[in-house]
């Protein structure tokens, strides 16, 4: 048995090592995988049906925990305030005990899987566990009061009232939540959208397994496979094959897909790696279905979709609560920057207006999250009749298209300040890979032709500043090496993101901007 475990561990680690080497694919191998193809009408029509965002189960469950804690605390406080109206010197002790009881309830529910979606779907199934955790929290509070010998200072009747009203609230709230989750599941508001990669019998078995689970929250949007109809039928378990894996990249950029599930046996290692070379650039979770494999790994090797075991290949970066934290970070520091830098905004706007005719703000189409095209704002730094919205011709040292005021604005990066409004609109983050113009190129090649995995930069929102910029990779891109290094730093940022990392980059940016060597 130990020998089997060792072999399984070796196989898993070898596969993961090869996956980590995907980024070193030669450029000629990558061009085919990232080449854009026209989607067929059926695939485009289905993509249009799934363009709206859904509620993430993790987000809803997190809000539930916060809501239940807050509501139980409010009920306890109201009961005690109404019944005994504690004096100010007693209030702190009551609030501490009420907060502790509310937190214990949420903690016990978490420990006994009270926040799992299958249990939330059925209020009747959840009721014993719900009341049990609420009762256990009161027992823990009673034990603590007894051991601390302070039970006599608190009203037992008010705590009894809190227990009754709290239990009524929890039952009513969970009944409403169960109804809401079932309703959201029916209308597609709360679901995880998945695409099956690979067809034939493995895909059919996977779909049947998922469909037979009563607690399944997966919506299968279609199947993509490179094989022809002889080996991969056009209809699998009632779902249409929408195109090839290369076309899947375009499909995923038109719609809101949460997960790609590869339905291939682990023994098809070479084919799996070929698929991942094409798919890793997308901002989605990528899973390898393991339900039909003869190999059985240790339980911690798996995640699960319902009861179906999956091997995690790639995770969507900055998802769920991380995305909320990053958005709060962006809004807070953007408003702070506007409050501190408004004189700079006004001065730059006046200087641009009086120095040359034309608009103050220059708008340019750039790549945003998931390759979407966004319009980025800058203070105009070129003469209007010589401006280059496509950025086909990079600005060079002494470029005659740049105005004298614009040259100062570009060297100091003040021209980028209007992008704070892009941040407030949700199109950019303060920190992230810099957004490049849609047609930007070095020499006669676009960046995506030069750099393997270039579009993987777009798995997160682009930023006003970034890890590459504070490490000296800003300004003119006049050779292949510069864009390769920028992309490498951007991918490092995505894979190692944290709020502390964002804060470090944000505060280092003004210091590193003093180096204007490559800014023209």
Q: Is residue 517 part of a domain?
A: no
Question: Is beta strand 239-243 parallel, antiparallel or unpaired with respect to 429-431?
Answer: unpaired
- Kindly state whether residues 282 and 352 are assigned to the same domain: no
- Kindly state whether residues 299 and 377 are assigned to the same domain: no
- The one-digit pLDDT tens for each residue of the chain (520 residues) are 333 333 344 345 555 555 555 544 434 444 444 444 577 888 888 888 888 777 778 888 888 999 999 999 999 888 887 777 666 666 777 788 889 989 999 999 999 888 887 788 888 888 889 999 999 998 888 888 777 766 556 677 778 888 999 999 999 999 999 888 888 877 777 778 889 998 778 888 888 888 887 667 788 888 898 877 777 778 888 888 888 888 888 898 888 888 999 888 777 778 888 888 888 888 999 988 876 555 555 555 567 776 778 888 888 898 888 899 999 999 999 999 999 999 999 999 999 988 888 888 988 888 889 888 899 999 988 887 777 666 666 666 767 888 888 888 888 888 899 999 999 999 999 999 998 887 777 767 777 777 777 888 889 999 999 998 888 777 666 677 778 888 889 999 998 999 999 999 999 988 877 665 555 4
Task: Report the alpha-carbon distance of residue 413 to residue 519 in Å, rounded.
Answer: 8
Q: Are 314 and 262 in contact (CB under 8 A)?
A: no
* DSSP conformation class of 382: B
> What SS3 class is residue 294?
coil
Q: Is residue 363 part of a domain?
A: yes
Q: Are 419 and 376 in contact (CB under 8 A)?
A: yes
Q: Is residue 518 part of a domain?
A: no
Q: Is residue 35 part of a domain?
A: yes
Tell me how many domains the chain contains. 3
127 Cα distance to chain centroid: 33
473 Cα distance to chain centroid: 26
Choosing from 314, 334, 359, the residue where a domain stops is 314
- Kindly state whether residues 215 and 301 are assigned to the same domain: yes
Three-class SS of 222-263: EEECCCCCCCCCCEECCEEEEECHHHHHHHHHHCCCCEEEEC
> What SS3 class is residue 387?
coil
Q: Is residue 70 part of a domain?
A: yes
- Kindly state whether residues 335 and 389 are assigned to the same domain: yes
Choosing from 265, 289, 314, the residue where a domain stops is 314
Q: Is residue 289 part of a domain?
A: yes
Q: Answer whether 0.75 is exceeded by the pTM.
A: yes
Strand runs (DSSP E) across 267-393, as ranges?
A: 285-289, 302-305, 308-314, 361-367, 373-379
> Residue 482's CB: how many other CB atoms inside 10 A?
18
- Kindly state whether residues 304 and 348 are assigned to the same domain: no
- Kindly state whether residues 216 and 128 are assigned to the same domain: no
Q: Are 382 and 364 in contact (CB under 8 A)?
A: no
Domain, as residue range, for 265: 2-54+191-314
Task: Report the alpha-carbon distance of residue 305 to residue 193 in Å, rounded.
Answer: 12
Q: Is residue 520 part of a domain?
A: no
Check residue 396 and give its pLDDT.
65
Task: Report the alpha-carbon distance of residue 355 to residue 415 in Å, rounded.
Answer: 14
User: What would the DSSP string read from start to end of 459-472?
Assistant: GS--EEE-HHHHTT
- Kindly state whether residues 34 and 78 are assigned to the same domain: no
> Residue 505's CB: how many other CB atoms inside 10 A?
22
Task: Pull the structure tokens for residue 181.
Answer: 């989750």
Choosing from 247, 279, 314, the residue where a domain stops is 314
Task: Pull the structure tokens for residue 44.
Answer: 């485009």
- Kindly state whether residues 205 and 105 are assigned to the same domain: no
Task: Report the alpha-carbon distance of residue 360 to residue 348 in Å, rounded.
Answer: 9
Buried b (16+ CB within 10 A) or exposed e, 264-283: bbbeeeeebebbbbbbbbbb
- Kindly state whether residues 417 and 435 are assigned to the same domain: yes
């Amino acid at each position: 048995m130990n020998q089997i475990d060792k072999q399984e561990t070796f196989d898993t680690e070898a596969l993961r090592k090869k996956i980590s080497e995907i980024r070193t694919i030669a450029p000629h191998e990558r061009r085919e995988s990232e080449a854009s193809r026209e989607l067929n009408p059926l695939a485009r029509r289905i993509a249009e049906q799934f363009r709206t965002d859904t509620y993430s189960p993790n987000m809803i469950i997190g809000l539930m925990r916060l809501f239940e804690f807050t509501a139980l605390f409010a009920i306890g406080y109201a009961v005690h305030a109404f019944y005994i109206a504690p004096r100010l010197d007693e209030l702190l002790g009551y609030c501490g005990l009420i907060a502790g009881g509310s937190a214990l309830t949420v903690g016990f529910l978490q420990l006994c899987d009270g926040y799992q979606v299958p249990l939330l779907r059925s209020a009747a199934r959840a009721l014993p566990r719900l009341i049990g955790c609420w009762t256990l929290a009161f027992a823990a509070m009673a034990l603590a009061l007894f051991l601390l010998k302070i039970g006599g200072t608190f009203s037992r009747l008010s705590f009894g009232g809190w227990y009754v009203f709290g239990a009524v609230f929890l039952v009513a709230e969970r009944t409403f939540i169960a109804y809401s989750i079932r309703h959201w599941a029916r209308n597609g508001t709360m679901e995880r959208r998945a695409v099956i990669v690979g067809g034939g019998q493995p895909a059919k078995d996977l779909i049947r397994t998922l469909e037979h689970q009563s607690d399944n929250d997966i919506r299968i949007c279609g199947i993509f496979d490179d094989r022809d109809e002889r080996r991969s039928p056009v209809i699998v378990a009632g779902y249409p094959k929408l195109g090839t894996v290369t076309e899947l990249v375009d499909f995923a950029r038109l719609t809101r897909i949460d997960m790609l599930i590869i339905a291939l046996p682990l023994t098809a290692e070479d084919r799996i790696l070929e698929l991942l070379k094409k798919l890793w650039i997308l901002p989605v979770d990528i899973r390898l279905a393991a339900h039909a494999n003869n190999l059985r790994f240790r339980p911690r090797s798996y995640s699960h979709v319902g009861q179906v075991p999956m091997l995690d290949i790639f995770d969507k970066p900055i998802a769920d609560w991380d995305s909320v934290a990053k958005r709060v970070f962006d809004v807070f520091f953007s408003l702070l920057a506007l409050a501190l830098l408004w004189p700079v905004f006004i001065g730059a706007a006046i200087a641009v207006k009086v120095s040359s005719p034309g608009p103050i703000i220059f708008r340019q189409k750039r790549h945003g999250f998931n390759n979407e095209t966004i319009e980025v704002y800058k203070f105009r730094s070129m003469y209007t009749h010589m401006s280059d919205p496509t950025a086909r011709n990079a600005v060079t040292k002494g470029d005659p298209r740049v105005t004298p005021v614009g040259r100062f604005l570009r060297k100091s990066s003040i021209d980028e300040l209007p992008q704070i409004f892009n941040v407030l609109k949700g199109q950019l983050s303060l920190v992230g890979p810099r957004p490049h113009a849609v047609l930007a190129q070095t020499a006669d090649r676009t960046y995506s032709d030069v750099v393997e995995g270039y579009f993987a930069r777009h798995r997160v929102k682009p930023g006003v500043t970034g890890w590459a910029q504070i490490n000296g990779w800003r300004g003119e891109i006049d050779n292949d090496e510069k864009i390769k290094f920028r992309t490498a730093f951007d991918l490092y940022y995505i894979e190692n993101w944290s709020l502390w990392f964002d804060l470090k980059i944000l505060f280092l940016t003004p210091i590193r901007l003093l180096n204007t060597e490559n800014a023209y």
